[in-house]
Structure 1
Amino acid sequence: MRSLYGFLLTAGFFLLTVAPAEGGLTCKEGHSGPTYESMQTVFDRKPFRPSVNLSNPTVTNISFTLYAVLGVYWHHEFLMWDPEECDGVTKISLPVKDLWTPDIIVYEFVDDDVSQNCPYVYINHTGHIRYDRMLRIVSACNLEIFTFPFDIQNCSLTFGSYMHTIKDVRVFPALSFEEISGNSKRYLQASGEWELVVIQGDAGILKFGIDEWDVITFWVVIKRRPMLYVVNLLIPSSFLMIIDILSFYLPPHSVDRASFKMTLILGYTVFLLIMNDLLPSTANGTPIIGIYFSVCLALMVISLVETVVITNVLHHNSMKFRDVPRWVRVLVLGYIARLICYAQPEDEPKDTPKSDSTGPCVTQPCAPAQTPTINGHGVLTTLPSDIPELKQICQDLSLMRSHLTSLQKGSEMQDQWCHVGYIMDFLLFRIYLLLITLYAMVIICMWCIWFTQ
């Protein structure tokens, strides 16, 4: 798709150079310059190209300054006089409507010319005519905005005759391309969104069928001033991404991290909707900054999914007292923990009750206990006893032991699942941080490349 770009050209001129007509213009005594009667014949020949020999082409010199005046110079062979005979007059002005003018156009022109015409031309005694006019050009330029807002555009403006071929009108630059570029930079150095880099030119021949036209092509190289888009797009997006990165430091087991991230995603979506008008709408392809915003939004969604997964690992699986699968222990607690340098805290030694063959409480059902007694001689003896209260106490202690054992096992499994969740959280956080860093480096490098050009 080709986008429309407007250029205001200033300082352009048409210049024609011809051999003096036979006899030239005459001047009467007491008159300053050629008389109107002597020029009436020239005015009557307006429809014809001013050349004594029609086999000789009319030379036209073109010069323009971006944001300035279009100037065209040409040579009129019938408008020549001797200044000594005309009181030293070397320059006059005449209405442009009474003279033949070259049909110089811009081939990339795609809109009506609404600029104001200059009604007069300046004529030198040698027959050179200068025609200055403001020309507002809306031209077609193929925009390359992949690096937006750090893009550099190269647009062409081709000047040439519309009807006269190379046999009739020859086109040459009136100034050097360096002078044209320097003059344009003085006008454009502090105006608008664009900054002029350089104006280059090339003279060539345009062919259509068997006919050839002499043309001049000016290449206008401009680059965008990105500060507006950096302040309004990149910096706010970076702030939201930094907050999303810092949200990983919220403890997932005690804070509702998911709600916080959902709020960030909603805010980022509103930001994109508001700033959508600042992005170019008509161009070839998609700018990398649009891809950057889409990827940032996708990363925020991925971070939310990661939070949901980690929350499920920390709360759901551990509350069901499921054992950590062996492959998870080997992969996560072994390799990934060492990869991300995760220091797993040492478990404190816990006192576990041990079975005592002499005690009344074992994991098996209680056996009949022996009641110690002392006989008449003072000797300690044991007598079998079947007291119900003692059996009940033994059963209660056995239940307490099994309950404590299950609690201890659940606590150990919960600690293992917590370690798995923390390790996965650290791993995904580092991957997320790496991706954000790579995107930031790409934007910074593009800005540096743009700044050095």
Structure 2
Amino acid sequence: KEGHSGPTYESMQDVFNLQPFRPAVNLSNPTITNISFTLYAVLGVNEKTQILTTFLWLRLYWHHEFLVWDPDECDGVTRVSLPVKQLWSPDIIVYEVDDDVSQACPYVYANHTGHIRWDRMLRLVSACNLEIFSFPFDVQNCTFTFGSYMHTRDVRVSPALTFKEMSRNSKRYLEASGEWELVDILGETSILQFGIDEWDIITFWQVVIKRRPVLYVVNLLIPSSFLMLIDILSFYLPPHSVDRASFKMTLILGYTVFLLIMNDLLPSTANGTPIIIYFSVCLALMVISLLETVIITNVLHHNSMKYQEVPSWVRVVVLKHIANLICYRWPDDIRPPSLSQRDKPESSNGSSDPQIVQPTSRAPDQQPASNGPELQQICQYLGDLRGHLTSLQKESELQDQWCHVGYVLDFLLFRIYLLLITCYALVIISMWCVWISQ
């Protein structure tokens, strides 16, 4: 009418009355719905419940065959905004959604050619099969499947933009990503069929997001590595000192407290165990280290305080073969047992114990009768002193022998401990590198 610019309310009323019907002149022709979205934020990932929370900008395009006008007859107006509730709109849903909090724009833009654009802002809580095996260097592939819920072949869906363009736009506008970053968006168009019914769907089958591992490397890996390094250096404490055992117990207690504090940062899921179980293995290795210290302490103190001889098989196996195997460096004033035992003179009873050079003097009973009782008492005191010194020397030699047995075993177990830690660290790093390179 004259005095009105563009389509009027009266002219639109007939279109609004057809809102329950699909806007197609020929109902055998399907309505094409084009879909594009921009991943604006990754709000959260819950590994235990396998839930991904994202925020999307969703844009729908379709053709409304009843809403067409000539711009020349409407003062050159080519586009108007109309309430979405007054028009038919495709029922496009996301199949994986557990909770859909939509903040849809109440208006759509209608072009004079009948093409309509509807922008929606979606907060999606969707199901996603999360793999945390390579945590914290994991990459997750989540699926968003867009399609019609009610219409089978009446509504056809297709992407409005190429997947590269959607990926580029998402990387450009991705803001609230937290510890996650977008890697790529890939997809395909397929047909979902149940019996005789078919639905066109768009499956964005690889919305690839990658975890930023800096937080976990700084708060988990580096402190754990430092504690393990301190545990390794504790082997350089004297093994005959009880300070090593108390130091290792304190270290285990501190590492346990560290794991309890960092427990909230570790993912928990029933689908698999992450490689980061490394922390539990490190705790087990610390316990093994403490057990090794207990064994060495027992060898150095318990056996030596009993004044028992070192068995011959221990001399051969530990002090000879194992010492040569681990390249044990003997002190300058002590020779290896294979050489020292060969040169030592044997005693009268056939043993090879070191002897003390005794002064050549007669026994008290061989002294002339003219000697007084004072001289006999002095000789008796000298005999007792000689026996006491001999006993002390024997005890010292036994302690030295057991001490060397303990040192050799300590060197051996320390190298085995280093080998275990090195092998485990190489396995973990290799698995992480293989997973990242995929």
Q: Does TM-score exceed 0.5, indicating one fold?
A: yes
Contact 1:189 1:196 in 2 (8 A): no
Letter in 2 for 1:44: N
> Pick from 246, 259, 265: which aligns with 1:259?
246
Deviation by residue 1:364-384 (Cα, 9 ceiling, x = unmatched): xx6534x5xxxxxxxxxxxx7
> Pick from 150, 156, 159: which aligns with 2:143?
156
TM-score (structure 2 length as normaliser):
0.85
Deviation by residue 1:409-439 (Cα, 9 ceiling, x = unmatched): 2222211111111111112222222333334
Return the alpha-carbon distance in structure 2 between the equivalents of residues 82 and 188 of structure 1.
40
Letter in 1 for 2:119: D
Return the alpha-carbon distance in structure 1 between the equivalents of residues 312 and 23 of structure 2.
98
Q: How does 1:267-416 map to 2 (within 5 A)?
A: 267-282=254-269, 284-289=271-276, 291-345=277-331, 346-347=333-334, 352-354=355-357, 359-361=361-363, 368-369=366-367, 371=368, 389-416=374-401
Contact 1:368 1:386 in 2 (8 A): no
> Pick from 78, 91, 109: which aligns with 2:97?
109
- Distance change >3 Å, CA 353–CA 237, structure 1 → 2: closer
Tell me the residue number matched to 1:232. Answer: 219
Tell me the residue number matched to 2:9. Answer: 36
Secondary structure of 1:48's counterpart equals coil
Contact 1:143 1:283 in 2 (8 A): no
Letter in 2 for 1:281: S
Secondary structure of 1:61's counterpart equals strand
- 1:96, CA displacement in angstroms? 0.3
Tell me the residue number matched to 1:206. Answer: 192
Deviation by residue 1:104-160 (Cα, 9 ceiling, x = unmatched): 00000101x333221110111111110011111110111111111111100000000
> Pick from 30, 52, 56: which aligns with 2:25?
52
Q: Once structures 1 and 2 are overlaid, which stretch shifts more, 236-245 or 140-149?
A: 236-245
Tell me the residue number matched to 1:438. Answer: 423
- Distance change >3 Å, CA 71–CA 240, structure 1 → 2: same
Return the alpha-carbon distance in structure 2 between the equivalents of residues 96 and 449 of structure 1.
50
Contact 1:109 1:137 in 2 (8 A): yes
Return the alpha-carbon distance in structure 1 between the equivalents of residues 227 and 257 of structure 2.
12
Return the alpha-carbon distance in structure 2 between the equivalents of residues 39 and 327 of structure 1.
105
Contact 2:138 2:436 in 1 (8 A): no
2:194 aligned with 1:221 = no
- 1:389, CA displacement in angstroms? 5.0
2:58 aligned with 1:76 = no
Return the alpha-carbon distance in structure 2 between the equivalents of residues 185 and 139 of structure 1.
20
Q: How does 1:56-205 map to 2 (within 5 A)?
A: 56-67=29-40, 68-111=56-99, 113-165=100-152, 167-188=153-174, 191-205=177-191
Deviation by residue 1:6-53 (Cα, 9 ceiling, x = unmatched): xxxxxxxxxxxxxxxxxxxxxx45543333333222211111111111
- 1:264, CA displacement in angstroms? 1.1
Letter in 1 for 2:33: T
Return the alpha-carbon distance in structure 2 between the equivalents of residues 211 and 385 of structure 1.
133
Letter in 2 for 1:120: Y
> Pick from 428, 434, 437: which aligns with 2:413?
428
Return the alpha-carbon distance in structure 1 between the equivalents of residues 198 and 275 of structure 2.
42
| Identity value in percent | 77
Contact 1:205 1:212 in 2 (8 A): yes
Letter in 2 for 1:338: N
Gaps of 5+ in 2: 41-55, 345-353
Return the alpha-carbon distance in structure 2 between the equivalents of residues 204 and 325 of structure 1.
79
Return the alpha-carbon distance in structure 2 between the equivalents of residues 150 and 442 of structure 1.
15
- 1:272, CA displacement in angstroms? 1.0
- Distance change >3 Å, CA 189–CA 133, structure 1 → 2: closer
Gaps of 5+ in 1: 1-27, 372-383
Secondary structure of 1:64's counterpart equals strand
Deviation by residue 1:150-176 (Cα, 9 ceiling, x = unmatched): 1110000000000101x2111100000
- 1:385, CA displacement in angstroms? 5.8
TM-score (structure 1 length as normaliser):
0.83
- 1:352, CA displacement in angstroms? 4.0
Letter in 1 for 2:165: E
Tell me the residue number matched to 2:52. Answer: none
Secondary structure of 1:130's counterpart equals strand
Return the alpha-carbon distance in structure 2 between the equivalents of residues 38 and 84 of structure 1.
16
Secondary structure of 1:437's counterpart equals helix
Q: Once structures 1 and 2 are overlaid, which stretch shifts more, 339-348 or 266-275?
A: 339-348
- 1:338, CA displacement in angstroms? 1.5
Deviation by residue 1:278-333 (Cα, 9 ceiling, x = unmatched): 112345222221x2111111111111111111111111111111111222222211
Contact 1:258 1:307 in 2 (8 A): yes
Return the alpha-carbon distance in structure 2 between the equivalents of residues 265 and 354 of structure 1.
51
Return the alpha-carbon distance in structure 1 between the equivalents of residues 299 and 254 of structure 2.
28
Letter in 1 for 2:235: F
Q: Once structures 1 and 2 are overlaid, which stretch shifts more, 259-268 or 182-191?
A: 182-191
Contact 2:190 2:202 in 1 (8 A): yes
Letter in 2 for 1:109: V
Return the alpha-carbon distance in structure 2 between the equivalents of residues 161 and 318 of structure 1.
84
Return the alpha-carbon distance in structure 2 between the equivalents of residues 248 and 115 of structure 1.
61
Contact 2:192 2:198 in 1 (8 A): yes
- Distance change >3 Å, CA 157–CA 413, structure 1 → 2: same
Report how many residues are paired: 405
